[in-house]
A and B are shown apart, each in its own frame.
Chain A
Amino acid sequence: MTPILIFLLGLAALMVVIAGAGIFWAIRSGQFDDMEGPAQRILMDEDDPLIPRRTLRGGEK
């Protein structure tokens, strides 16, 4: 039983290291700089202009 346990523990440690590296990368690349903006942004439709554009030419919106 012990060898498989050692293997699994080693695997867990490897996962931890990978997860840690991932988080450090995410922090360094600024993904944690704004904790509120992205949560709001997902609610806004990009194809829905916030300032309605005026109709420039007849028929075209």
Chain B
Amino acid sequence: MSEDAACFHCGQPVPPGADYPVSIEDTQHDMCCRGCQAVAQAIVDNGLQAYYSHRTALPSTASELIPAELSKLALYDHPEIQKSFVIEEKDAAHLKQASLILEGITCAACVWLNERHLQQLPGVKNVQVNYGNHRARITWDEREIQLSRILREIQLLGYNAHPYNALQQEALRRRAKSRDIRRIAVTGLSAGQVMMLAVALYAGAAFGIEHSTAQLLRYVSLALTLPVLLYTAVPFYGSAWRSLKSGRLNMDVPVTIAILTAFAGSAWVTFRGTGVVYYDAITMFTLFLLSTRFLERNARERSVEATENLLKLVPAMALRIRDGQQEAVAVLDLAAGDLILVKPGEAVAADGEVIEGVSSVDEALLTGESRAVEKSVGTAVIAGSINLEGPLTVRITGVGENTVLAGIVRLLDRAVAEKPRLAQLADQVAGYFTYVLLALTLIVALGWLWVDPARVLEIVLAVLVVTCPCALSIAAPAAFAAAGSHLLTQGILLTRGHALETLAKVTHVVFDKTGTLTYGKPLLNQILTLGGMDENECLRIAASLEQASEHPLAASFQARIGKQELYPVADAQNYPGKGVAGVIDGRRYTLGNRRMSLAAENVDDDAQGATVGATLVWLCDEQRVLARFALSDELRPEALGLVSVLQEQGFKVSMLSGDSAAAVQHFAARLGISDYRSGLHPEDKLAALKALQAEGQVVAMVGDGVNDAPVLAGADVSIAMGGGTQVARASSDIVLLSEKLPDIWRALQAGRATMSVMKQNFAWAAGYNFLALPFAAMGFIPPWLAALGMSVSSLVVVLNALRLKQI
């Protein structure tokens, strides 16, 4: 350490002899005092090292010297630090939104507690906590409340919150997993020993045992149970206490009561010297409970991993090109307009437009489409897609929270945060059930006190343990999480919580035509040569002429001609509403509708062989017509298959379109749709939809997302074809990122499957509890069997939900 070094955090000289090192990104930095050390360590521990590369000025020292405890939270109010995880609402800069991880969430009640408590703070606009991945999305008004205050409130509730960061989440998860395994191991060892001694005691009770020996065994059992009581079961106490404090009971309350009363009763028996001890039941129960929770946590993580993977798609670093020089910079430092180089094999760091290079990219994780997508100059690339072949230079159009990917993640968060009606119901029922359970236990205890006081402890234990409503409360969320995550991997994005539930009830599917059943853009599908010139030559001339045109039809010529070289066009002219003209190789050609050239007007046109509703374009030289091109919107190839499957499965299918009657009729006939309406304005479509709903139909509307917004909003469940940026502003309940029509059928199936799995789960959980309760109350179930039954019942529910990943 050099004598005149400056403090890495505040910039003041480090006094001689001071030794306050902090390791930041693998380098030791010296701080001037304990205060700076604490702040810097807090920054590093919370994964916010980016602050040091971001900051443009050193902190003003005096005001930064806050007590270490507070400083950690106050850090999050710093605008430089907020840059990495906070977004501002577009229309109101004082409204901020952040995604936080909550540590300590063990059940649905924790979610409820956090949401309710934070919601009532002044200045907090919106709080949504996701039980699946423990993420909270909070919107607050900066003028009324600081983020540090919100975090402080969360700490007061007994939880811990910090900004979401995929890497940190990973580390946290690993730590939690090690902790769980340690607990299970300790409990397992203890349970094994206690069980052996319990066998000796049971045998002793049957065949006779010296009192002193029995007492020895009891005391040893008590000692072996202590690690379970004082270490491994502690999380249950904490959770139970929090739920009591919030006035809403969760299932850890009966668990805690069971463990503590069993121990107290057994200890009393041990000291007194007569009676039955239940150390074996305590350790077994804890072991089963911890193991079930561990397995449930793993299953839940697997079911949300598709969502989590989306967040990990964007790399942390990117190669920025500035003044012809490449430099590696953090993605957070990129801004719109920057140029970045994406090498083959790398993920694209931000949304942008290719300005140099040709390659193909893999967008599978975003769209479910496994085929690589070609990219060349002028095409858009999205953050998170993987460049496969050649290097691409990309001009950035959106970074961070402004990317398509971030938009998708926000929609997903919204979907998960909005609890489906059934899940809400289940939460309520589980809550009431806990009260009923405690009341019943009390009654049973009083009853047995009267019948046989010696067995009270055993019976109470069995009743509390066997009826733990764990399975009931995870029945719905487990099913929804598994189905949603599975659909996402197929390119089907659920953006609303109710989507799956409503999908299961759909009876009528309404399609928009343009852009949904058809591609929504004209394709060149027929070329008729009339002047003796060959087809390809006509096409080449046409495409060359269209170079100068911005008309949508122009693109389809260029698409058809592919990579063939175009002719240089001299004297290119554009006649709006008619067509284009130009001179190629000394000859003047025109391309356009019939008014464009005299020759075309004189052709006897019966639109022979062209699709109904097709646009006809004529290529002429100065004397004669050379070719006629027919361009029309085409059906997506899978449309026919989808419509027939839906009709076979008993769905009613209709088509509502704003297009002309002839075109709509043509497509309806090809698809076999008998119920179609044409020439509709959006409000007419909405009225038609309302009429269907008035008949009692549950309507799924399939549209292309942008121009159908009011109709989509009016349907019971709406499905939008979503490519690119449309996703970010989707007004629909489901977005087909894949743009594949058969996915609609897949989504409908998934909705039904989810509902049936959920019903099975509810039936199982409720059935198990109601069946087990009377047996336990009558004393037929020993405590250890109760523990086993409780664990198996929750496992069945989780495993049943995981079946949804195979639809």
Chain A residues with CB under 8 Å of chain B are 1-2, 5-6, 9, 12-13, 16, 19-20, 23-24, 27-28, 32-33
Q: Which residues of B have CB within 8 Å of A12?
A: 193, 196
From known contacts A2-B216, A32-B178, infer whether A23 and B193 are also in contact, taking CB-CB under 8 Å: no
Which A residue sits closest to B179, measured CB to CB?
A27
If A2-B213, A2-B216, A5-B216 touch, whether A32 touches B193 (CB-CB below 8 Å) is no
Which residues of B lie under 8 Å from residue A13 when comparing CB positions?
A: 193, 220, 224
Chain B residues near A20 (CB, 8 Å)? Answer: 185-186, 189
* Contact of B182 with A by CB under 8 A: yes
CB pair A6–B216 under 8 Å, yes or no, is: yes
Would you give the 0/1 interface string for B149-179, flagging 1 where the beta carbon is closer than 8 Å to chain A?
0000000000000000000000000100110
Is B193's CB under 8 angstroms from A2's CB? no
Across-interface contacts of B56 in A (CB, < 8 A): none
Q: Which single residue of chain A is at the shortest CB-CB distance from B200?
A: A5
Please determine whether B174 and A33 come into contact, CB atoms closer than 8 angstroms: yes
Contact A32 B177, beta carbon cutoff 8 Å: yes
Complex interface: chain A residues within 8 A of B181 (CB): 27, 32
The yes or no answer to B60 lying at the interface (CB within 8 A) is no
Q: Is B212 an interface residue (CB 8 A)?
A: yes
Contacts of B220 in A (CB 8 A): 9, 13
Report how far A54 CA is from B374 CA in the complex, Å: 30
B221-238 CB contacts (< 8 Å) to partner A: 224
Known contacts A2-B212, A9-B220, A33-B174; A16 and B189 CB within 8 A of each other:
yes
Q: In the complex, how many residue pairs between chain A and chain B have their CB atoms under 8 Å apart?
A: 38
Contact in complex: A1, B213 (CB < 8 Å):
yes
CB distance from A25 to the nearest CB of B (A): 11
Q: Measured between alpha carbons, how far is A4 from B220 in the docked complex, in Å? A: 15
| Residues of B with C-beta under 8 A to A16 | 189-190, 193, 224
- How far does the Cβ of B214 sit from chain A's closest Cβ, in whole Å? 11
Residue on B nearest A9 in the bound complex, by CB: B220
**How distant is the Cα of A23 from the Cα of B224 in the complex, in angstroms?**
17
- Give min CB distance, B514 to chain A, whole Å: 48
Interface size range of chain B in the complex: 10 to 19
Interface residues of B in 197-252 (CB under 8 A from A): 210, 212-213, 216, 220, 224
Q: Give residues of chain B (84-109) contacting chain A, Cβ–Cβ below 8 Å.
A: none
Residues on the B chain within 8 Å of A19, using CB: 189
CA distance A13 to B196 in the complex (A): 12
Residue of B189, B210, B212 with most partner-chain A CB within 10 A: B189
Do A23 and B212 form a contact, CB below 8 Å, given A16-B193, A32-B178, A33-B174? no
* Alpha-carbon distance between A21 and B210 when the two chains are bound, in angstroms: 34
Where the two chains meet, the residues of B that have a C-beta atom closer than 8 Å to any C-beta of A are 174, 177-178, 181-182, 185-186, 189-190, 193, 196, 210, 212-213, 216, 220, 224
Instruction: List the 5 shortest-distance A-B pairs measured between CB atoms, nearest first.
Output: A23-B185, A32-B181, A16-B189, A27-B178, A9-B220
Question: A5 to nearest B CB, angstroms?
Answer: 7
Chain B residues, Cβ within 8 Å of A23: 182, 185, 189
Q: Inside 8 A of B216's CB, which chain A residues have their CB?
A: 2, 5-6, 9
Least Cβ distance of B222 to chain A in Å?
13
Q: How distant is B699 from chain A, measured CB to nearest CB, in Å?
A: 44
Q: Which of B174, B182, B196, B212 has the most CB of A within 10 A?
A: B182
A-B contact pairs, 6 of them (CB 8 A): A1-B213, A6-B216, A16-B193, A20-B185, A23-B189, A27-B182
Known: A16-B189, A20-B186; 17 extra A-B contacts, CB below 8 A, are: A2-B212, A2-B213, A2-B216, A5-B213, A5-B216, A16-B224, A20-B189, A23-B182, A23-B189, A24-B182, A27-B178, A27-B181, A28-B178, A32-B178, A32-B181, A33-B174, A33-B177
A4 CA to B174 CA, complexed, in Å = 44
A22 to B746, CA, bound (A): 49
A23-B196 Cα distance, complex, nearest whole Å: 21
Contacts of B177 in A (CB 8 A): 32-33
User: Closest CB-CB distance, B209 to chain A, in whole Å?
Assistant: 11
**A20 to B212 Cα, complex, angstroms:** 29
Task: Determine the chain B residues whose CB is within 8 A of the CB of A24 once the complex forms.
Answer: 182, 185
A1 to B217, CA, bound (A): 13
Residues of A within 8 A of B189 (CB): 16, 19-20, 23
Q: Would you give the shortest CB distance from A49 to chain B, in whole angstroms?
A: 21
Nearest chain B CB to A31 CB, angstrom units: 10
**Of B177, B185, B186, B210, which is in contact with the most chain A CB atoms at under 10 Å from its CB?**
B185
Residues of A within 8 A of B185 (CB): 20, 23-24, 27
Q: How far, in angstroms, from A28 to B174 measured CA to CA in the complex?
A: 11
Instruction: With both chains docked as a complex, state the minimum distance between the C-beta of B295 and any C-beta of chain A, in angstroms.
Output: 11
A9→B213 CA distance, assembly (Å): 12
Please measure, in the bound complex, the distance between the C-alpha atom of A23 and the C-alpha atom of B186, giving whole angstroms. 9
Residues from chain A with a CB closer than 8 A to the CB of B174 are 33
Q: How far is the CA of A16 from the CA of B193 in the complex (A)?
A: 8
Chain A residues lying within 8 Å of B178, measured Cβ to Cβ, are 27-28, 32
Residues of A within 8 A of B190 (CB): 16
A16 to B191, CA, bound (A): 11
B220 nearest CB neighbor, chain A only: A9
Cα of A19 to Cα of B227 in the assembled complex, Å: 14
Cβ contacts under 8 Å, A1 to chain B: 210, 213
With both chains docked as a complex, state the minimum distance between the C-beta of B97 and any C-beta of chain A, in angstroms: 34
Question: Which A residues are CB-close (under 8 A) to B213?
Answer: 1-2, 5
A32: which B residues are within 8 A, CB to CB? 177-178, 181
**Complex-state Cα separation, A24 to B181, whole angstroms:** 9
Distance between A16 CB and nearest chain B CB, rounded to angstroms: 5
Q: Which residue of B lies closest to A1 (CB)?
A: B213
Query: Which residue in chain A gives the minimum CB-CB distance to B227?
Result: A20
Q: How far is the CA of A19 from the CA of B216 in the complex (A)?
A: 23
How far is B193's CA from A13's CA once the two chains are assembled, in angstroms?
8
